Structure 1
Amino acid sequence: MKNAIPVYDICRLSDAPSGQKNQEFHVERFGSYVSRHPKSLHLSHGHSFYHMVLFTKGSGKHTIDFTQFTVKPGQLYCMIPGQVHSWNFSGDVDGYIINFSDNFFRSLLLRPDYLEQFIFFSGVSNDGVIQLKNSVLERVVSLFEELLSQSELVKTNGNTDILRVILLHTFLLIDETTAKVHSSAVAGSRQMLMKNFRRLIEQHYKTIRLPKEYADLLYITPNHLNALCQEMVNTTAGELIRERVLLEAKRLLINADLNISEIAYTLNFKDNSYFSRFFRKYEKISPEDFRARFVTTK
């Protein structure tokens, strides 16, 4: 399958000389990062890595998976591999950018799913955009500055564990200031169940569309699953499944090399007519018009 949306790896975006690029981690001031990529950042693109941007100066718009956010100082963006985004800045911007691979923590942590505990790495656009309070912002900036200085030392000593430790400290600090406080173990178990449901959707959205099938995988009843979704995210289980299918449809539609039939096949619809009806029903626009509107706005 051809892919018209560029998907960047860490080495391609790094400022290090060829042969000295780290395939698992990169940290840089955002101003210099933008100046080196003046055009590519404004076009829709994806990453094969985790991506964090902290703004300390500037304004503009940032679109993540077709949801647009207003850029402000003190704002932190956290994205996971596979998300599609683009920038549209107004004037000069600055801050910090951190890119790290899915494997970056695996040699340090026993739990391969460790990052999944942080809601800002859920892959849901709204969850990954955080406006930091000034007191927290100062601490995060200090940690990012430490990452910058330590990354220079790593180039000579090769020991990246200090980068991992500082980055984990940053995650825990952000999580501490943004996570909802749950007063009981029951609330914690509901949160874990919701997280498992989202994980199952991510794994099976192309082939499993019914809430009952997900409820069976979670060993609960469909009514229990719907009540959980209403309580935790104020929507139904079926809507969460549809949102994920529609998101992938949008990502594929901005790929000019794929026709509607190919997209329908990729998403496991029985034919392109059924896919088109599904898309129009929930997006109030045809797949063809969505594609045309997206292209004309770039």
Structure 2
Amino acid sequence: MNDNALELFNPQSKSLVFKVFTFENDEYFNSLKQYNYFSVILILSGKGSLMADISEYSFKENSLMCFSLYQPFKIQCEKGFKGIMVNFHPEFFCLHKHRNEVSCNGVLFNNIYASPIINLPIDETQYLLTIITGLKIEMERTGTHQLEVLISYLKILLINASRIKIKQTHLEYASIEKRPVILSNLKNAIEEHFKLLHSPGDYAELLNISTAALNRISKTHFNKTLSNLIADRIIIEAKRQLYLTSKPVKLIAYELGFNDEFYFSRFFKSNVAISPQYFRDTVGFDRESI
């Protein structure tokens, strides 16, 4: 185990299910990361660039980054990069099972329409740091009820991070005058039709706008091409089905508008870098709980 990491393993499968990792430079993050667990990274100092999926973002100190299952990311930073990363596998804490308690899926994770970076006021940074410090202290303890305490701390972390992001999102929307109505229309169209309509031209026709213009709008406001935005939405649903159901991959492919299971598998692998079956095997609902 890394001296800067505290780790918890599933005693049955021996797989890592929870980890708190303290870092003091960007060396660990210079190579592409793609975990079979959720990641929350609190940046205490430093500034640099984040590559998440295929989009690039800039960040500075006092910020929070959140990444979903197998979401690829890489961080490059100037000197003075310090922070803490919390990783948790679905068998440790299932966002779906606890959705009524934390409501962070679609806010912190799997939000294709927003940056994975949350800028934090200094007092919020310190509060989240206090929560994570509580996690670290509990990880170093042994005895009964450790899991319950760790999960309680994790819930508090996710709830408060979600509150901050929701508040920021509302402020951002309020501060942008004459925000293009087409943004909401595009988002609503994708949410309604992504299982059937897979090409940018489909949405351009639906919204009565040229494909080139709609693609420019997507790139400007969502930092993604329209094709990437549509693909991301399909992948989120595919992951959800693979994770939460026992449906055959062929049926999932069909429900997502793919008549060819093998084409769907290639599509999934080109976007996630692993096969649908491997995703299910490593994060699926039927894995043994700790």
Contact 2:102 2:155 in 1 (8 A): no
1:209 aligned onto 2:235: no
Using the alignment, how far apart are the partners of 2:17 and 2:192 within structure 1?
Answer: 24
For 2:43 and 2:110, locate their aligned partners in 1 and report how far apart those are by CA, in whole Å. Answer: 21
In 2, the alpha carbon distance for the partners of 1:121 and 1:131 equals 16
> Does the aligned pair in 2 maintain the 1:64–1:125 contact within 8 Å?
no
Q: 1:29 & 1:146 partners in 2: Cα distance?
A: 14
Match of 1:187 in 2: none
- The answer (yes or no) to whether the contact 1:63–1:85 under 8 Å persists in 2 is yes
Same amino acid, percent of matched pairs = 13
Residue 85 (structure 2) pairs with residue 97 (structure 1): yes
- Unaligned 5+ segments in structure 1 are 1-9, 183-190, 215-221, 224-229, 249-261, 269-298
Q: Is the 8 A contact 2:49 2:59 kept in 1?
A: yes
For residue 228 of structure 2, what is the aligned residue in structure 1? 243
**What is the Cα deviation at residue 107 of structure 1?**
10
Per the TM alignment, residue 244 of structure 1 is displaced from its structure 2 partner at its CA by 3.4
Instruction: Flag the 1:17–1:144 CA change in 2: closer, same or farther, 3 A.
Output: closer
Deviates more, 1:110-119 or 1:60-69: 110-119
How far apart are the structure 2 equivalents of 1:71 and 1:105? 28
How far did 1:133 drift? 1.0
CA contact (8 A) 1:119 1:128 kept: no
Q: RMSD of the TM alignment (CA)? A: 5.0
Q: CA offsets per residue over residues 219-263 of structure 1, 9 Å max, x none?
A: xxx67xxxxxx9xxx769xx9862235669xxxxxxxxxxxxx99
Paired residues for 1:259-298 under 5 Å: 266-267=266-267
Greater mean alpha carbon deviation, residues 42-51 or residues 15-24? 15-24
Q: Relative to 1, partners in 2 of residues 1:18 and 1:118: Cα closer, same or farther, differing over 3 Å?
A: closer
| Structure with the larger RCO, 1 or 2 (CA within 8 Å, 6+ apart) | 2
Is 2:22 the counterpart of 1:29?
Answer: yes
Shift in Å, 1:149? 0.8
**1:150 counterpart = 2:138:** yes
Alpha-carbon distance in 2 for matches of 1:139, 1:23: 27
Determine whether 1:172 maps to 2:159: yes
Instruction: Tell whether the 8 Å contact from 1:52 to 1:99 is kept in structure 2 after alignment.
Output: yes
Structure 1 residues 136 and 265, CA, compared in 2 at 3 Å: closer, same or farther? closer
Moved more, 117-126 or 91-100: 117-126
Q: 3-state DSSP class of the match of 2:74?
A: strand
Instruction: Determine if contact 2:45/2:82 at 8 Å carries over to the other structure.
Output: yes
Q: Tell me, in whole angstroms, the C-alpha distance in 2 between the residues paired with 1:245 and 1:54.
A: 29
Query: How far has the Cα of 1:60 moved from its partner?
Result: 2.5
Whichever structure has more helix as a proportion of its residues is: 1
Number of equivalent positions: 216
Residues in 2 aligned to 1:85 and 1:244: alpha-carbon distance in whole angstroms: 17
Question: Quick one: which amino acid aligns to residue 161 of structure 2?
Answer: I
Q: State the secondary structure of the residue aligned to 1:69.
A: strand
Question: Hey, what does 2:277 align to over in structure 1?
Answer: none
Structure 1 residues 101, 17: CA separation in 2 closer, same or farther (over 3 Å shift)?
Answer: closer
What does residue 6 of structure 1 align with? none
One-letter amino acid of the counterpart of residue 209, structure 1: H
